Structure 1
Amino acid sequence: MENVTTVNLTDAAATDRTKSLFVYLNQLRGKNILFGQQHATTEGMSITAKDGTQSDTFNSVGAYPGLFGWDTLSLEGKEKPGVTGHAEQSRDNLVAVMKKAYADGGVLTFSSHMPNFVTGGDFYDTKGNVVSHILPGGDKNAAYNAFLDQIAGFALHLKTDDGRPIPVIFRPFHEQSGSWFWWGAAFTTTDEYKEIYRYTVEYLRDKKDVHNFLYAYSPGGGFGDSVDTYLKTYPGDDYVDILGFDSYYNGEGDSWFNGVKTEAKTVSNIADSRGKVAAFTEFGYQKMKVTGNTTLDFYTKLASTLKSDPDAKKMAFMLTWANFGPDSIYVPYPTGDPNQEHEMLPDFKKYYQDAYTLFSDGVIGAYDKKVNTASEQGFMHIASPTGQSTIKEASTTIRVRVLNETPDRVVYSVQGSDTEYPMVLNPDSGYYEAQWTPAAEQNGKTADITVKVYGSSGAVLHEQTNTVFVKIGEVLAGAYTFDTAPDAEGIQYNGEYTSSSGGTNDGSAAYSDFNGGSLKISAPHLNGTDSWQELKLELKNAKAKAGAGS
């Protein structure tokens, strides 16, 4: 009887080949490591066509990378094989080259250097507090959804000739621990990062039915052996399949190699404890030249460094960047000049020959494994407002996602009160929602919002508290409505003043059933021809209406 592995993936409905790829990558760990390159067959220094048919790596060692990387910039027409101004052609071109890479034995990965949805700039434009605008309720949420629709369209078109979806490792919001992208640490709170990552997965998986993605989380290096630092923005085990990190060599010498070993070990141990795949999601030799490099054994030394520790060795793959041009080279290539070959090419060939490294000619059995997925457990999170965010409007929508279970009820409460207010499921958004109007005394302070999910037995299934800052320019202190006669009590008529008659006080203010309930004011001395008229009402119970007592 065939042994069937059961795994817990972000997507319990992942396609068979996607599930198989996850198991394959985990089985590689400690034995082999896939070598990968971004734009391996659409950029290069020694190739004559950039259409997916040639590669610097192939020209150097006689094999393609084992892992091929592209980016959503191709969908936007900003990188090859995309076409500026032609979204559908860009999608089809990208699908074609990725199908070719898959057919050549490669595993596929897809990163996302997203545009700035607030300013219209690129991913390096850090202005605008972008994440707060693209989360649910933000004014740029629709624009972000349209971007995700492009990604979903690509994923759903990426199929074999017989119609089977091709698996992809999707790696959004990478290197968030730095501050060079608009989703970086200086511009996005921890909770905002977690929520936009969750939102992205839920939108693609649950709304667009993308089931051929494995999801990768990859902060930049610098966390060392600190598990807490690495997991600071981690969106949770329900949203991540692959744990990675990015680190580039700038000629630091042994300190960099030792740092990579430490961090690979940290990531590997975390992955083992959580049932995830560990990977070196980006690496590279910065400013590599044909001659004049300081570390000529870079590739073999890096492989040896990883192999020197049993945990660091357990990286499933390592991806380097694209050979965009003379100032952006990450893979040595044959120059065509026998008098000036790339001085790092011999070491790269030794790296290829290492039994530890795998290129396309060594990828075997990645997609044919029999795998089941574990049933999903119930989960709840507050999508908005995020923790540590600032409430600036008089009324804000609380949004809660409840996954993999049907609660009896969902409620929220606010610090200082035991009252639980019901939340209602919005079938269009999929969120449980409620409107919250902060009290006047909360303005200028912090407030804790607590959401509870109750089961049919009355037990609390999930509970989460977010602390927010309330900073509203004008806050509603209290409100008068006139649905019934007692609602008019406490309103005292104190007369009128007109420029022709002076001050008088023989009018009144009282309840009326007009229009379903209203306040009727009788002011007999008002004169429509006067240029100045006043009505005086005293709200004798205003303090009580504002919640401050009488």
Structure 2
Amino acid sequence: MKTLRLITMILASNSLMACGPAQKSQKDEGAPTRTAETEQLLANLKKVSARGFMFGHHDDTNYGIGWDGDEGRSDVKSVCGDYPAVVSFDLGHIELGDTASLDNVPFSKIRKEILNQYKRGGLSSLSWHLRNPKTGGDAWDVSDSTVVKSILPGGANHGKFVGWLEKLSTFINSLQTEDGVKVPVLFRPWHEHTGSWFWWGEKLCTPEEYKQLWHMTADALHDNGVNNVLYAYSPGCEPQDTAQYLKRYPGDDLIDVIGFDTYQFDRDGYIANFEKSLAIIDSIGKAHHKIIAITETGYEGIPDSKWWTGTLLPAVEKYPIAYVLVWRNARERVTHFYAPYPGQVSAEDFVDFYNHPKTLFANDVNSLYK
């Protein structure tokens, strides 16, 4: 079924990461261009949704239920025989100069898995749950409402934060193949800002400060030579309409992908939030010519044996999304997982989800590149 449907799919170029004509970045005319591979990734992501959507899983190849760091292992692959087309990784603690992330994954391992995903022809997405630069707490420390202001130009912690951005830039610049090709990645910082559980959340900074934070981040990466990123903007499901969604939007000149994060707690509420949020980003995507995606979602523990084909698939297949990504399978919290593993109650249904003509996994994407 997978092979037959791939014959009908048409994407320009040899792969999501294939070479293509370089173009100017969002910067001024004197700025360096994005890499050709990054521009081609952007062009092909715009075409993915014409035939289906890519499935993604956070930290998929780093660990899973009952294992940690095994070479080539993936709970998703163990269930359906294929890797996700999108794998996301978190860079929290890179700013501290640590050797491992906040989820205790060595950054050397993350780099290796990003390269592996590139070789498969898939996409890697990066989030950043960084520490609170003012209090020293974690990303969820909202005890001080002036943290964002303190790291903007002129703020007491601006210099510290500039140093953090240099460490982040060094890592992203290090994502290179043996031939020196810089691997394009999707960078999704400052997410779920329409809630107030992160120190950059809605009640912790003004819309203007939030937009400044975005531009300062992108400008610093650009100045540090980072030319292999696309940027994703992803609030939670709190916005009720397009105007509210765009209230803190950093601008079309900066953002490449728009999405949202939402999780199931009760099915009716989840479906309602999904429909509302998808309608919002679909409208904005068409008006602003942006790729749309479901940047985080899932149902913890997946107790519904038909969740993949009975809830998720019907909710997303009506809209032209590039990908949908579920959160991680934590090896240290065995009830905290969002993708099935062998024997899990929804595993059989996930295979049906995998076989659906619209779902794209790593082999589907890679087959298009040969």
Q: Residue by residue, what CA displacement relative to the aligned partner does 1:369-412 show, whole Å, maximum 9, x if unpaired?
A: xxxxxxxxxxxxxxxxxxxxxxxxxxxxxxxxxxxxxxxxxxxx
* Distance in 2, Cα, partners of 1:366 & 1:176: 36
State the partner residue of 2:359. 357
- State which of 114, 133, 138 in structure 2 corresponds to 1:117: 133
Residue pairs, 1:9-24, within 5 angstroms: 10=26, 13-24=33-44
Q: 1:74 to 1:37 in 2, by over 3 A?
A: farther
1:315 to 321, 325, 331: 321
The structure with higher relative contact order (CA 8 Å, sep 6+) is: 2
Within 2, Cα distance between the matches of 1:304 and 1:40? Answer: 24
**The one of 53, 63, 66 aligned to 2:72:** 53
Q: Is 1:305 aligned to residue 324 of structure 2?
A: no
Over the residues paired in the alignment, what is the CA RMSD in angstroms? 2.3
In structure 2, distance between residues paired with 1:367 and 1:139: 49
Residue in 2 aligned with 1:546?
none
Q: Which of residues 254, 260, 264 is equivalent to 1:245?
A: 260
Q: In structure 2, what residue type is equivalent to 1:245?
A: F
Corresponding letter in the other structure for 1:303: L
When residues 167 and 195 of structure 1 are mapped into structure 2, their CA distance, relative to the original with a 3 A threshold, is same
Counterpart of 1:296? 305
User: What's the CA shift string for 1:289-308, capped at 9, x where partnerless?
Assistant: 6xxx2x3222112112222x
Letter in 2 for 1:64: Y
Is the counterpart of residue 328 in structure 1 residue 336 in structure 2?
yes
Match of residue 160 from structure 2: 143
Give the letter for the 1:95 counterpart: R
Task: Supply the AA of the counterpart residue of 2:170.
Answer: G
Q: Secondary structure at the match of 1:249?
A: coil
The SS at the match of 2:298 is strand
Runs of 4+ with >3 A deviation? 2-12, 78-83, 364-368
Letter in 2 for 1:357: T
Q: Contact 1:57–1:63 (CA<8 Å) still a contact in 2? A: yes
Distance 1:7 1:356, change over 3 A: farther
TM-score normalised by length of structure 2: 0.86
Q: Which residue of 2 aligns with 1:72?
A: 91
Paired position in structure 1 for 2:118: 102
Deviations 1:174-212 (A, max 9, x none): 00000100000111111100000011001101x101000
The whole-number CA distance in structure 1 between the counterparts of 2:66 and 2:120 is 19
Give the match's secondary structure for 1:203: helix
Opposite residue 89 of structure 2, the aligned amino acid is: W
Query: CA separation in 2, counterparts of 1:21 and 1:316?
Result: 12
Distance change >3 Å, CA 366–CA 185, structure 1 → 2? farther
The CA distance in 2 between the partners of 1:7 and 1:323, in whole Å, is 38
SS in 2 for 1:73: coil
Read off the aligned partner of 1:166 and give its amino acid letter.
V
Distance 2:78 2:121 in 1: 16
Q: Match of 1:108, SS?
A: strand
User: What letter is aligned with 1:215?
Assistant: Y
Q: Deviations over 1:138-183 (max 9, x none)?
A: 1111111111111111111101111100000000000000010000
1:6–1:269: structure 2 CA closer, same or farther, 3 Å change rule?
A: farther
* Inter-partner Cα distance in structure 1 for 2:358 and 2:196: 34
Aligned length: 341
Distance 1:18 1:297, change over 3 A: same
2:4 alignment counterpart: none
Aligned twin of 1:221: 237
2:23 and 2:275 map into 1 onto residues whose CA distance is: 27
1:52–1:101: 8 Å Cα contact kept in structure 2? Answer: no
Residues 366 and 159 (structure 1 numbering): CA distance in 2 closer, same or farther, change over 3 Å?
A: farther
Report SS of the residue matched to 1:169.
strand
Conserved? CA contact 2:91–2:126, under 8 Å: yes
Q: What is the CA distance between 1:9 and its match in structure 2? A: 5.4
Matching residue's letter, 1:273: A
Q: What's 2:197 paired with?
A: 180
The one-letter amino acid paired with 1:298 is W
* Length-normalised TM-score, structure 1: 0.59
C-alpha distance in 2, partners of 1:143/1:78? 19
* Larger CA Rg, structure 1 vs 2: 1
**Alignment of 1:344 onto 2:346:** yes
Q: Which amino acid aligns with 1:297?
A: K
* Paired AA for residue 254 in structure 2: Y
Question: 1:365 Cα shift?
Answer: 7.8
Q: Distance in 2 between matches of 1:152 and 1:112?
A: 12
Mean CA deviation greater in 16-25 or 62-71: 16-25
After superposition, the Cα gap between the structure-2 partners of 1:194 and 1:314, relative to the gap in structure 1 and judged at 3 Å, is same
Q: Aligned partner of 1:321: which letter?
A: W
Residue 258 of structure 2 aligns to a residue whose secondary structure is strand
Confirm or deny: 8 A CA contact 2:151 2:158 kept in the other structure: yes
CA contact (8 A) 1:9 1:241 kept: no
**Change over 3 Å in CA distance of 1:81–1:104 after alignment to 2:** farther
Deviations 1:351-375 (A, max 9, x none): 111111111111148889xxxxxxx
**Does the Cα contact within 8 Å between 2:52 and 2:357 map onto a contact in 1?**
yes
In the TM superposition, what whole-angstrom CA distance separates every residue of 1:480-520 from its partner, at most 9, and x where no partner exists? xxxxxxxxxxxxxxxxxxxxxxxxxxxxxxxxxxxxxxxxx
The code of the aligned residue for 2:101 comes to K
Q: Deviations over 1:106-141 (max 9, x none)?
A: 210000111000011100101231100100111111
Check the 8 A contact 1:51/1:97 in 2, yes or no: no
Q: Residue 281 of structure 1 contacts residue 317 of structure 1 at CA under 8 Å; is this kept in 2?
A: yes
Counterpart-to-counterpart distance in 1, 2:186 and 2:198:
21
More helix by share: 2
